[in-house]
Chain A
Amino acid sequence: MLLAFGFTNLALLGWLAAAAVPVVIHLWNRRQYREMAWAAMEYLLAAVRQSRRRMRFEQWLLLLVRVAIVVVVVAAVAEPYVERSGLLLGPTGPRTHRVIVLDGSFSMAYTHEDTSRFDQAKALARQIVEASPQGDAFSLVLMAAPARAVVGTPALEPAEFLQELGSLAQPHATADLPATLALVKQVLDAARAEQPGLEHREVYFLTDLGRCGWAPEGDAQTAEVGRQMARALGDEAAVAIVDLGQPGRENSAVVSLASGTTMPTVAEPVHVQVGLKHFGHQARKAQTVELLVDGQRVAQKQVDLPVGSGVSVGFTHRFDTPGEHLIEARLADDHLTIDNHRWLALTVKPAIEVLCVDGRPSGKARDGAAGYLAVALAPESDSAGPRRVQVDVAPEAALLERNLDHYDCLFLCDVAQLTKAEARVLENYVRAGGGLVVFLGPQVKTARYNRTLGGSDGLLPAKLGRVLIKKEPGIDPKEYRHPIVAPFRGRERAGLLNTPIDKYVQLDVPADSTSQVVLATPRGDPLIVERSFGRGRVVLVATSADTSWTPMPMWPSYVPIVQEMLAFAAGGRLARKNVLVGQPIDSVVPRSVAGTTGRLTLPDGRTEPLPILAGDDLPRWQFTDTLQSGPYTARFGEGKGVRHHLGEAPSGPFRQMVPGTFSLGDPEVQILAVNVDPAESNLAKLSQQELRDEIWPGVAFDYQTTWHEPTAPEAVPVTRRGSLARGFLYLLLGLLLSETFLAWRFGHHTN
């Protein structure tokens, strides 16, 4: 039984023996009679016969009341309380709204003796619900990023609540405490408005008190806001924190997985870098790191994991077939397995398709405005073997004539002006994830550019000004901060800094824009500016792609910088394919499957319908419930356009998908990878003292811990007491008044 009564001063209950006093007095009174001869006995006997039952009842009643008075006095002095051997905070009485906050951070998956902290938390939540009296209502909030109200509207039926609780899977998220507090407040406010009968409010945090979630490194202002919210919550409701965490735990994790290229092709091997880290106090020797591609193990290495610092392990893999591929880095299982895996979703292409729009087509190779650029984009085009970059050079009419979705990146070279239709095509193209690099030149009509492509919602990252002549030598690399120029850091011989530029268009970057300056003149005039637009990226170069304004095309820095611009501009798509848990995943789909409903296979094998949304002329889908890490596979138009490829059927998300069966332009299957935030892998936790002193000073809450009994949540010694002394005193008063009345009433026969 979860509900129990108890007494603070148990020893005082010995005085209960005093309850015998009224009985003894009664018996003693009966023995202390006087004797008397009586003549009118006949009438006395008749009276006795008449009154015997009534007298016996009165005697017993009075005796009972007197015994009860002694019992209640002793019980009240012994400080009675009602104890719920669950986690319930309050005394019984008014209906209570209990909000149970489950820590959804993946450190809750830490398993000890076959029980994870999350399972333990669920068991405790169940215990709370089952121990609650009828009429109480329950809400369930997941403390994750983003915070989620699993049961927002207070559930009055425990069965419904428990069903929701039971079906809740361990999220792989991090904990967002401020958002959770705000959500809890929202839930409480809504419940107060909808069900005013719920007078009492209790909030239970079932958490491992991970430092990452409870004390994130951030600005002091955010922390203060969090404290204020916690204080407000403490004022409004009874707050209990149940600590399920174990201090000083060891954990190894795959903290990063990245490919060396943003646009992998079958033409060249992909270099994959795996970051590993051990959080704890004891270094791990000879840990095996495996690399799996599309579910097949392709490589493994042994590494030593020192304490505190990360280790990076490199792998190289060549994709034989183009299409959607998934790379997984895997570390041997430990107590927390979620962060021992990391995934990287890649779209491998036969080649990177680039369209160069030449503003001054000449008809000859390596001539015109895009001549040098085409060579720089595919410098190996003369060599044998597969080409990494496939460059098409076309006049500006191609913008409307060709299907731009086919290309990964567009280069505009000295295109004089763009019509509105062309501008819209370009916008849609970039918004869908394409890359756009705009080179200027003598033909460019800056005013028209500004009008059709400029503005705050336009494609161009900067406003075009007048043409300037560069006088001073040298280039400001802006500390090589930008990815486009970052490879030049420490490579002075590449000649970036002394790249000669004669003329350039003055670029005016609005102060409030998201545009970033990649390179600038020593005067500060931007030379290369980029910005993200929709899913794609736009790079604007202030000078020409050919030699009309600059001898740069013949300079050694030209090829690398063009390649980097290509990688950066075309890399927008890849960035959207790999996100962290809790972030929404989305993608555009070809218009051919618009209006259909796809299916999304989640990492745990479940499938969800995936409606395709039509917005901004781009069919796309979105999925927000990414609380599980792993690959998310979206399928559209089953069978349509899929060229089956004979091969070994892999396991995992590829169960129904043969790798490499999709060519460019057939993205009926899309794979996206969702990974955990490596910060949560650090199992450092807060102590009760730290929580009280640093995180929530001044917040009224009750701290309870269960971690020393992880395998028996049923036997959790977490109890709360509600004093009953006042009730007992009222009862005593009632009994005293009753005794007085009864004694008067029964003795009234003499008057």
Chain B
Amino acid sequence: MAVDDYQKYLDPKILAQLEGLQLRARRIVEGYVSGLHRSPFHGFSIEFAEHREYAPGDDLRYLDWKVFGRTDKYYLKQFEEETNLVCYLLLDTSQSMDYRSADAPMSKLDYARCLAAALSYLVLQQQDSVSLATFDNQVRALVRPSGNPSHLEQLLYVMDQATAERKTASGAIFHELAERFTRRGVVVVLSDLFDNVETMMAGLKHFRHRRHDVILLHVLDPAEVEFPFRRTTLFRGLESMPNVLVEPRALRKAYLREMDRFTHELRKGCRMHQMDYVPMRTDQSVAAALSSYLATRKQQPHSTQS
């Protein structure tokens, strides 16, 4: 199958039609992401591989003093790249994630699943470990990190079984998980982040305190971003929120302003704590969104490397 053929399956609409997360993840990664030359995740290596001559700007910590003593030349120690990266995927399965507008190809939860599956696939492909936690107002499932390729199936199974039923309380969850994730790694949060920004940021800050690399994949429905409704609508609140009957046209401006304020706060918080904030729309191509972000990330000096 040509690459172009895979491309078209990367469209969320097509993906939604494909049953099974594994297939979706494979298509996403094989069709696009796997074409990348290097892993975007730089792990920590312990097994020595070779020496390289020092060049200005190199980290002096990796200077091989023994060789310097022997040869009077500066050599850096290069390590064997080993899968020691742990990618913690935190999948929000609160009720709000179940929202899917009429024009959207899939719900936010489905989209987040796709993302999580694709990332799992990608990380496992690189022989790294993936851990998965689903949560709403408490941790619903926690899959321990593993680098075994067969681990993917378990991950996908857990994702599939997750149902969106309850309210979010992300702040406490993040604190709890931060305590439980003992190995440093990359924490990827897949959520609509409809929660108290302050408590949520406090929880995320905890991850950063544990020196995890944090990536917020903010999944939103296009309707939530654009609020395109015209007819009088009774909005039924999810997660125990009240119902409200409104004239959407009259409210749009104020709503968009509120949304903007919300995302602005998120961005600001992420920037402050050196976390990556990645807005995602469920009508976007998962692969495109993911690859675009990963490409950007590769170009950045990574905090976890420091």
Which residues from chain A sit less than 8 Å from chain B, CB to CB? 29-30, 32-48, 50-51, 55, 58-59, 746-747, 749-750
Contact = CB atoms under 8 A, between A and B. Distances in A.
A341 B53 CA distance: 151
B233 A33 contact: yes
Interface stretch (B130-138, B203-211, B248-256): B248-256
Contacts of A48: 244, 246, 251, 254
Contacts of A59: 247
A39 B244 contact: no
B92 to A, nearest CB: 11
Contact of A33 (B192, B231, B250): B231
A35 B258 CA distance: 22
B67 interface: no
Contacts, number: 105
Given A32-B232, A33-B231, A47-B258, A38 B99 contact: yes
B212 interface: no
A310 B242 CA distance: 105
A750 B249 contact: yes
A33 B244 CA distance: 11
B242 A43 contact: no
Interface residues of B, number: 39
Given A39-B108, A40-B194, A48-B246, A30 B232 contact: yes
11 contacts: A35-B236, A37-B238, A38-B238, A38-B241, A39-B96, A39-B99, A39-B108, A40-B255, A48-B246, A749-B252, A750-B249
Contacts of A32: 231-232
Given A40-B259, A42-B194, A46-B258, A749 B236 contact: no
Nearest to A55: B250
B46 interface: no
A114 to B, nearest CB: 71
A37 B232 CA distance: 14
B79 interface: no
Contact of B231 (A34, A41, A43): A34
Contact of B249 (A36, A43, A747): A747
Given A34-B233, A35-B233, A50-B254, A41 B238 contact: yes
Contacts of A41: 235, 237-239, 241-242, 244
Contacts of A45: 241-242, 244
B245 interface: yes
Interface in B94-115: 95-99, 108
- Listed from nearest, the 6 A-B pairs whose CB atoms lie closest are A47-B254, A39-B96, A38-B235, A41-B241, A39-B99, A43-B258
Nearest to A49: B254
Contacts of A40: 96, 192, 194, 224, 255, 259
Given A30-B245, A749-B249, A36 B236 contact: yes
B142 to A, nearest CB: 25
B221 interface: yes
A47 B242 CA distance: 14
A582 to B, nearest CB: 80
B241 A42 contact: yes
Given A30-B232, A32-B232, A40-B224, A51 B254 contact: yes
B234 A43 contact: no
A38 B99 CA distance: 7
B135 to A, nearest CB: 16
A44 B233 contact: no
A578 B223 CA distance: 108
A33 B233 CA distance: 5
Contacts of B264: none
Contacts of A51: 250-251, 254
Interface in B2-48: none
B259 to A, nearest CB: 5
B180 interface: no
Contact of A39 (B221, B232, B245): B221
Interface string B283-305: 00000000000000000000000
B192 A39 contact: yes
Contacts of B229: 36
A36 B235 CA distance: 5
A200 B97 CA distance: 77
B230 interface: yes
Nearest to A32: B232
Given A33-B231, A33-B245, A39-B194, 14 more contacts: A32-B231, A35-B236, A37-B238, A38-B237, A39-B239, A42-B194, A43-B255, A44-B244, A44-B251, A44-B255, A44-B258, A48-B254, A51-B250, A51-B254
A46 B237 CA distance: 13
B99 A55 contact: no
B262 interface: yes
B70 interface: no
A30 B251 CA distance: 15
Contacts of B61: none
Given A30-B245, A749-B249, A749-B251, A43 B236 contact: no
